[in-house]
Chains A and B, each alone.
Chain A
């Protein structure tokens, strides 16, 4: 940009010290991009690398054999939903809506299409036109062309598309529904480890669920990011767990008591 380095007022050596300090502290800010984000809960801000999920982007919540994927999806929806966004869920007849409300999803702005019929892609496409965030979670996997078309439409309508892939909880798992993702999504979230705390041998109750979420982003920081999340924590909230403590070692108060017995 500056073709004359000698004359540039931004050349660092000439800067007085306080200004140089400031220059070192400053980060590129992008207000325009900031306006284009749907706000998310704080733990997701770290996973996504942004304070929100970018409009028009596609997020994959990949199911694994470790439980927690559905709660992860609901917690992802909770941030935009709380801030006034309209979310839609296509194909979620078995969703625990009491759990959704507990995780922070505003049910009055959550559209449910429990049975999208034979063409879920068409239904999702129509909803992409009107909502801020559309989540497709169908037991019958969407075809690759369908997903590509939906992603393109989401980009055009500046809506966030969330696709739930892979293993689905019972009974869909039995049908072996495993849909591949043809193109790289903007963000891929996955529960890779987890642990429930609460129950012992006939006493206690499920109080909290600690999971390790792995995020893979297409842009920004390359590689995978792993974080431990309370989903939900003992206080019912979604939060980042303490720095890198594997829960199986640390345990909660209830677990320690159970072991001591």
Chain B
């Protein structure tokens, strides 16, 4: 493993003398030598870290690059002849029994691994390798560069801090109970821990006891739960493969939840058009989220394509590597599963629906209706109420979370702005009636709200048909109201006629507000429209738009 991987992988690799920290969601995930010496620790808030170490260079985490850079490392490890599993970039595990015998002992194997990794030229000297029973013991052994003999895991872990089991809430409770070391936790009875902290607590207890996760594992899948897709024609584009993998992940999640199982080890198989099979294993003791794996597969594929492209072209001494041509099939194979024990909810208050719970519910709906059936809206620039919204399928990256929050954009209620003073429109003669409450004020510009001259000020209509239906706006004589090139109506609107024949008397109206879009692009793409608001005798309020002499109903204030 390489604890500094987030620091090393994307980067220029920092020297020990540099103070660099990598930050993800305002928390430090890795820090360089000098930063560590100054007290910057993983898990620290960014501000706190900056306070402890003035002049700290803060880098944003680039997980995609981490996975991509880790790919060659996994390939080197696979060269040792054992199945390699990873749970995060910078961390890999392989069973030692076979290779250790082959290379002549565990010490020799460790030396071999270190030599192989240092030969890569990435993160040289930063690799930590250790041997131990189970993933927790092995991880700690690697941190200390130790080889823990079989069955000695519990004694090795006993003096270490309780926070190594990872579960923040559980650790908090145990600390308050006066249990600070893994040894003290392991000394508790397994049945009592299970009764008090549930299945997850029992698993943590087993880990702390140095037992690895054996009692729950390995349980090879009985039924074939794997999902597989053939791509015809083969896809050379990484994005296309990633899209397919995401669909597979949703299908797999549905299958697993149907069977009441979680997947603790997942194999991703990709077969290229040349018949080459690439497989990668992902593990996690709480269960692997197939959606996360599918997302990471994209980055892995990018790494594979670049490696193949480079080797194929330059003919380096990496062996007989075929050039990248395309992907023929993708499969997700759950290698180990266990029963989904779920989570015990609080007695009184249900915790807020977490992202995971929401994601599971959404996955089921997506399984019924397709990936793009569940969406979230993003406000984008635009003038009409329908143009201002873009839908993003749930599971696809949602832009701007954290950067521009709708709630912060809305609080305080900025003065309503109108487009009347925009450059698109010369002001009409000032009328006395405009001096009332409705006097347009110029919008103050904020980062999240770029100016769109001609945009409708709030409130926006609450009902916006996806395909605006045609309507007729008539003057008292029954002729269609038109808007001329100067933005004036041909007559006062008197009646609104709907598609189905319903007629409403117009009592009050406002506008028209002309918009001239893309005038610089010429005839086919240029759009000249005018919008008008009408209030009818029945109490309804509508937003109409006219283009080329035809009126449509753009929105209903409902």
The chain A residues found within 8 Å of chain B, CB to CB, are 32, 35-36, 55, 65-71, 74, 82, 84-86, 93-102, 104-117, 119, 122-123, 126-132, 158, 169-171, 174, 194-196, 198-209, 232, 234-237, 252-254, 256-258, 261
Q: Are A201 and B492 in contact (CB under 8 A)?
A: yes
Q: Are A67 and B398 in contact (CB under 8 A)?
A: no
- Cα–Cα distance between A9 and B312 once the two chains are bound (Å): 92
Q: Are A36 and B368 in contact (CB under 8 A)?
A: no
B47 at the interface (CB under 8 A from A): no
A257: chain B residues within 8 A (beta carbon): 433, 435-436
Q: Are B460 and A102 in contact (CB under 8 A)?
A: yes
Q: Are B365 and A96 in contact (CB under 8 A)?
A: no
B358 at the interface (CB under 8 A from A): yes
B89 at the interface (CB under 8 A from A): no
**Interface hits, B352-389 → A, CB 8 Å:** 352-353, 357-362, 364-365, 368-369, 373-379, 385, 388-389
Q: Are A99 and B361 in contact (CB under 8 A)?
A: no
A202 contact from B362, B406, B437, B492, Cβ within 8 A: B492
Instruction: Jot down 27 A-B pairs with beta carbons below 8 A, ordered by A.
Output: A36-B348, A66-B539, A67-B556, A71-B558, A82-B407, A94-B463, A96-B460, A96-B463, A96-B464, A97-B388, A98-B460, A107-B377, A111-B358, A112-B375, A119-B368, A127-B365, A130-B360, A130-B362, A131-B353, A170-B463, A198-B510, A204-B436, A206-B459, A234-B416, A234-B437, A236-B459, A261-B432
**Closest Cβ neighbor of A126 among chain B residues:** B364
Q: Are A174 and B500 in contact (CB under 8 A)?
A: yes
Known: A67-B540, A96-B464, A99-B462. A32 touches B348 (CB 8 A): yes
B436: chain A residues within 8 A (beta carbon): 204, 253-254, 256-257
Q: Are B464 and A94 in contact (CB under 8 A)?
A: yes
- Cα–Cα distance between A244 and B322 once the two chains are bound (Å): 80
* B536-558 interface bits toward A, Cβ cutoff 8 Å, 1 = contact, 0 = none: 00111100000000000101111
Known: A96-B460, A108-B401, A236-B413. A129 touches B434 (CB 8 A): no
CB distance from A89 to the nearest CB of B (A): 10
B197 at the interface (CB under 8 A from A): no
Q: Are A112 and B508 in contact (CB under 8 A)?
A: no
- Cα–Cα distance between A169 and B533 once the two chains are bound (Å): 17
The chain B residues found within 8 Å of chain A, CB to CB, are 348-350, 352-353, 357-362, 364-365, 368-369, 373-379, 385, 388-389, 391, 394, 398, 401, 405-407, 409-410, 413, 416, 418, 431-438, 457-466, 469, 489, 492, 498-500, 508-511, 533-535, 538-541, 553, 555-558
Q: Are A203 and B369 in contact (CB under 8 A)?
A: no
A112 contact from B391, B469, B500, Cβ within 8 A: B391
Q: Are B459 and A232 in contact (CB under 8 A)?
A: yes
Q: Are B558 and A169 in contact (CB under 8 A)?
A: yes
Q: Are B466 and A93 in contact (CB under 8 A)?
A: yes
**Closest Cβ neighbor of B488 among chain A residues:** A202
B438 contact from A66, A85, A106, A198, Cβ within 8 A: A198
CB distance from A215 to the nearest CB of B (A): 19
A200 contact from B358, B416, B433, B457, Cβ within 8 A: B433
- Cα–Cα distance between A101 and B249 once the two chains are bound (Å): 32
Q: Are B463 and A131 in contact (CB under 8 A)?
A: no
B538: chain A residues within 8 A (beta carbon): 65
CB distance from A162 to the nearest CB of B (A): 15
- Cα–Cα distance between A32 and B347 once the two chains are bound (Å): 11
B510: chain A residues within 8 A (beta carbon): 198-200, 202-206
Q: Are A171 and B508 in contact (CB under 8 A)?
A: no
Q: Are A123 and B369 in contact (CB under 8 A)?
A: yes
A235 contact from B413, B534, B539, B557, Cβ within 8 A: B413
CB distance from A71 to the nearest CB of B (A): 5
B358 contact from A86, A170, A171, A252, Cβ within 8 A: A86
Q: Are B458 and A236 in contact (CB under 8 A)?
A: yes
Q: Are A199 and B348 in contact (CB under 8 A)?
A: no
A256: chain B residues within 8 A (beta carbon): 436
CB distance from A112 to the nearest CB of B (A): 5
Q: Are A112 and B374 in contact (CB under 8 A)?
A: yes
B376: chain A residues within 8 A (beta carbon): 107-112
CB distance from B299 to the nearest CB of A (A): 24
- Cα–Cα distance between A131 and B350 once the two chains are bound (Å): 12
Q: Are A102 and B509 in contact (CB under 8 A)?
A: no
A119: chain B residues within 8 A (beta carbon): 368
Q: Are B389 and A131 in contact (CB under 8 A)?
A: no
- Cα–Cα distance between A123 and B367 once the two chains are bound (Å): 10
Q: Are A95 and B348 in contact (CB under 8 A)?
A: no
Please name 5 further chain A to chain B contacts, defined as beta carbons within 8 Å, in addition to the given A67-B539, A107-B379, sorted by A numbering: A108-B405, A130-B359, A130-B360, A199-B508, A236-B416
